[in-house]
Amino acid sequence: MFDNMSHSVRPAVPDDIRDIVQVHESAFPGFLLTDLGARFLTMLYAAFIDQQDGILLVAESPRGAVVGLLAGTRAPAHFFRALRARRGIAMAFASIPGLVRHPIRIGERLLAAVRYGGDQPPAIPGYWLLSSLGVDPDRASSGIGTILVNRFYTMAEEARAPGIYLLTDLQDNDAALSFYAKRQFVVHSRTRRRDGRQLLVLAHTFIR
């Protein structure tokens, strides 16, 4: 177990899912996955625990409360292909309440989400995907995000992965971009979704 600033990081277990969903909803209000609803998020995060190549870490407070999460995968294309095969229909039904609440905004992006495969650039094969990093807003700037990323780094390095990549918004995202820049992520490329959303692919390469 990795300890820092009175918090600890460990692999998630199924009993953590409810708390993980609550952290996600607090950390990402108004985001597409949040608007799809708690049932959708429950299925998604459960997949990071029980599917091959999935990784789900949680940060705990000294009292054992889940206050942060990191979801990732060792093989993005394989992971999301298996997710669609195993849970795609159930997750589509789980998204219906969110679609009813926000039909235009979610309808435009849901198809892209269903087809999502990790958007791994061909130029960085073998890199692990950092899919989601969330911290309870009440504990922002407490170092929780850093210890979660550090644990993910350690896991990837020990597995001899060439590096880690992630996707994040280009616009109105200064805090996240600064956070990742301080952790040696650099801009690898840019991509634009069909809905016009502009994303940066950030990559961290391990030097051996």
DSSP 16-39: GHHHHHHHHHHHSTT-HHHHT-HH
pLDDT in tens, 127-171: 999 999 999 999 887 899 999 999 999 999 999 999 999 999 888
pLDDT in tens, 13-48: 999 999 999 999 999 998 888 888 899 899 999 999
Distance, in Å, from the CA atom of 40 to the CA atom of 42, rounded to the nearest integer, reads 5
Is pLDDT above 50 for 194? Answer: yes
Is pLDDT above 50 for 3? Answer: no
In CATH, which of 3.40.50.970, 3.30.70.100, 3.40.1440.10, 3.40.630.30 is domain 2-205? 3.40.630.30
* Cβ burial, residue 89 (10 Å; 0-12/13-18/19+): exposed
The 186-192 sheet, strands edge to edge: 2-4, 7-11, 54-60, 66-73, 128-135, 163-169, 198-205, 186-192
Distance, in Å, from the CA atom of 93 to the CA atom of 80, rounded to the nearest integer, reads 18
Is pLDDT above 90 for 92? Answer: no
Is pLDDT above 50 for 1? Answer: no
Mean pLDDT score, 184-202: 86
Is pLDDT above 70 for 106? Answer: no
Give me the chain's average pLDDT, please: 88
Q: What is the pTM of this model?
A: 0.89
Residue where the block lists tokens 């069909």: 194
Neighbours of 52 (CB within 10 A): 10
